[in-house]
Amino acid sequence: MSDQTLEITGMTCEACAGHVKQALLGVPGVRTAEVSYPEATARVTVDRSVDAAVLTTAVAAVGYGVALRSSAAAEAQPAAPVALGHRPPARTRGGDDDRRPHVAVIGSGGAAMAAALKAAELGAAVTLIERGTIGGTCVNVGCVPSKILIRAAHVAHLRRESPFDDGLSAAAPVIDQPRLLAQQQRRIEELRHDKYERILDETAGVTVLRGDARFTGDHAIAVTSADGGERHIRFDRCLIATGARAAVPPIDGLAGTPYWTSTEALASDRIPRRLAVIGSSAVAAELAQAFARLGSQVTMLARHTLFFREDPAIGEAIEAVFGSEHMTVLTHTQTSSVTFANGEFTLATDRGEVRADDVLVATGREPNTVGLGLAAIGVALDSHGAILVDDHQRTSAPDIFAAGDCTDRPQFVYVAAAAGTRAAINMMGGRAALDLATMPAVVFTEPQVATVGLTVAEARLRKIETDSRTLPLDAVPRALVNFDTRGFITLVAEARSGRLLGVQAVASEAGEIIQTAALAIRARMTVTDLADQLFPYLTMVEGLKLAAQTFTKDVRQLSCCAG
């Protein structure tokens, strides 16, 4: 037997030390493992047949940084990083330190940043390649600006009308969109600098290279800069995290008009008097309501219904809300052509003409995979051009991983970041899987739409017999005192066991409710378990408890906060 000492980074508490210890004890041949959070070390006794790389792989697989030092030098010298992996690379390709594996990351959004930082933490030399603005979609043209716009629209709406207008005077606000846009852009720039640019500048082991990347062969990338110069780099492993762009449907005449995608809409310094929105899912609904609340006359044109991939009750509820806010929603409507003349759009549909001052196309997003040379290296794509990955973020090509919106996984930034972290661990020899079974999703309309797990229809497709209950919000005390009872909470349970399988909510702050539901599903709680929990009174999340109680009782016959 022999003793080994590992330097552990990334531990933040004693529980982390427990996770590391458990991982080490799971390695065949490990006799003892003592992990110290204060000292950031792990001391293990192992059979002599146990390779050190197996120990470092085990620690990396649970998400911590690790470096090895011999027992003789443990007290005298700092640890040196070691290359992790089942087959450490024979040499570094493009790095300055021949002991370190070289990881190339294409992109700089959520997935790319998470992967670059984790790979550097685990001892890699990282080259991050970005052709445009650092930070990707979310901070620059997606999540951040859209939520700022939505919040501003919410405030404008409340100043114009609220459930308390009988006692609080209301007045139509004056919208100064150029000033709102300037405020929005300042916050974007602050976040981009603080959460992306500064971190990249300060992270040892990460080099940023500007330009367009394309694969030129196994383990080789050419990077073309804006001035036409070209650099060639070689890598041991590569992550593709190039994101996605707005998909534009082939509507006759559309391409020749100054239409908006979400990018242009979120950067606009004007609120159009009339806005037509082509689309029916999250981005379309969020921006349609925001512009309506800021003063646009909005017409939505949906080929199906709103949120047609979700439980039908969700689309029906949001359509009713939009109607109450004087928005026009044309469901089951196909746009056949678009023209633009004299500053006006004309949309021909199977339900007549729609005229507008601006048109927003929000029909989904498509992956940025064209021009990367993926076919030449054997990276398989689906029919939409998305990179096919397994639950370890591996592609069909050796040593090539992918994460984020350019893959066939759900297009959410938190999924991208989680995938990027796991990809980095796996590129460095770990075995970290991405489990999407309890992935929550939120649409930031008002009321919000939030879902996790299975619907009744999805469970039926899996041949699971279910029992479900829907609680209207007029049975939730917090909604009553807010004078806003629009929406519902639906719980889907396995019929035999009562185990919670899914939750769908349309409610004010549904996004704050859904994570509790996700944790309950993750913990394999039953509806009885959920009904027995303590929930603070006069919170929206208490609606989960009340919905769970409806499986066994009539909650309208209970007193307030009845346990």
Active site residue 406: no
Distance CA 156, CA 179 (A): 14
Q: Which is more confidently placed, 560 or 400?
A: 400
Q: How confident is the model at residue 12 (pLDDT cuts 50, 70, 90)?
A: low
For residues 433 and 131, give the distance between their C-alpha atoms in angstroms, rounded to a whole number: 29
Write down the CATH number for the domain with range 254-363.
3.50.50.60
- 36-50, 176-190, 267-281, 332-346: which has the minimum mean pLDDT? 36-50
- Write down the pLDDT at residue 73: 36
**Residue 64: pLDDT over 90:** no
Pick the CATH number of 2-70 from 1.10.10.10, 3.30.70.920, 3.30.70.100, 3.20.20.70: 3.30.70.100
pLDDT at 76: 33
Per-residue pLDDT for 314 more than 90? Answer: yes
At 207-225, the pLDDT tens digits run 999 999 999 999 999 999 9
What pLDDT was estimated at residue 370? Answer: 97
Determine the average pLDDT of the residues in 492-517. 98
SS3 for 466? strand
Which of 54 and 468 is assigned the larger pLDDT?
468
Mean pLDDT across 153-181: 97
Q: Which amino acid is residue 521, in one-letter code?
A: I
- Which residue in the list 113, 138, 300, 427 is annotated as catalytic? 138
Which are the contacts of 174, defined by CB distance < 8 A and separation ≥ 6? none
> Cβ neighbours of residue 97 under 8 Å, at least 6 residues apart?
125
Q: pLDDT, tens digit, for every residue of 377-406?
A: 999 999 999 999 999 999 999 999 999 999
CB-based contact 402:388 (threshold 8 Å): no
Chain mean pLDDT for the chain: 92
Extended strands (E) in 38-144? 41-46, 65-70, 102-106, 125-130
| pLDDT given for residue 562 in this prediction | 64
Rounded to whole angstroms, the Cα distance separating 381 from 240 reads 13
For the segment 98-142, what is each residue's pLDDT rounded down to a tens digit?
A: 568 999 999 999 999 999 999 999 999 999 999 999 999 999 999
Locate CATH 3.30.70.100 in the chain.
2-70
**Boundaries of CATH 3.30.390.30 in the chain?**
441-557
Residue 154: pLDDT over 80: yes
Q: Whole-prediction pTM value?
A: 0.83
| CB 140 within 8 Å of CB 188 | yes
Q: How confident is residue 433, by pLDDT bands cut at 50, 70 and 90?
A: very high
Instruction: Give the best-scoring range by mean pLDDT among 36-40, 88-92, 299-303.
Output: 299-303
Q: Which long-range contacts (CB under 8 A, 24 or more apart) does 336-340 make?
A: 336/251, 336/252, 337/251, 337/252, 337/253, 337/254, 338/251, 338/252, 338/253, 338/254, 338/257, 338/259, 339/253, 339/257, 340/256, 340/257, 340/258
Residue 461 has pLDDT above 50, yes or no: yes
Judge contact between 44 and 55, C-beta under 8 A. yes
Q: Return the HEC string of 437-450.
A: CCCCEEECCCCEEE
**299: β partners:** 276, 328
> Of these residues, 1, 37, 64, 428, which one is catalytic?
64
What type of residue is 462? R
Residues of the chain with CATH 3.50.50.60: 102-135+187-245+367-427, 254-363
What is the topology classification, in CATH, of domain 441-557? Answer: Enolase-like; domain 1 (3.30.390)
Task: Return the structure tokens found at 486.
Answer: 């629009």
Percent of the chain exceeding pLDDT 70 equals 93
Alpha carbons 400 and 390: distance in angstroms, whole number: 12
Q: From CA 72, how far away is CA 3, in angstroms rounded?
A: 9
Among residues 11, 113, 238, 427, which one is catalytic? Answer: 11
Indicate if the alpha-carbon torsion angle 534, 539, 541, 543 is positive or negative.
positive
Query: Is 540 a known active-site residue?
Result: no
The pair of structure tokens assigned to 203 is 């992270």
Cα four-point dihedral sign 506, 407, 331, 266: positive
Which of 60-64, 103-107, 493-497 has the lowest average pLDDT?
60-64
Would you say 206 and 120 are in contact if contact means Cβ atoms under 8 Å apart? yes
Q: Find the helix or strand (DSSP H, E) in which 346 lies.
A: strand 344-349
> How far is residue 19's CA from residue 535's CA, in Å, rounded to a whole number?
29
Residue 69: predicted pLDDT: 66
Centroid of chain to Cα 90? 35
What CATH code is assigned to 102-135+187-245+367-427?
3.50.50.60
* Options 37, 143, 414, 439, the catalytic residue: 143
Please report the DSSP string for 379-406 in residue order: --B-TTSPBP--TT-B-SSTTEEE-STT
Span 344-388, pLDDT tens digits: 999 999 999 999 999 999 999 999 999 999 999 999 999 999 999
Distances in Å between the alpha carbon of 491 and those of 339, 457, 514, 550, 556?
46, 13, 11, 10, 17
CA angle, corner 276, sides to 282 and 362, nearest 5?
Answer: 30
For every residue of 210-275, DSSP letters joined together read ESEEEEEETTEEEEE-TTS-EEEEE-SEEEE---EEE-----BTGGGS--B-HHHHHT-SS--SEE
- Say which of 16, 327, 427, 540 is annotated catalytic: 16
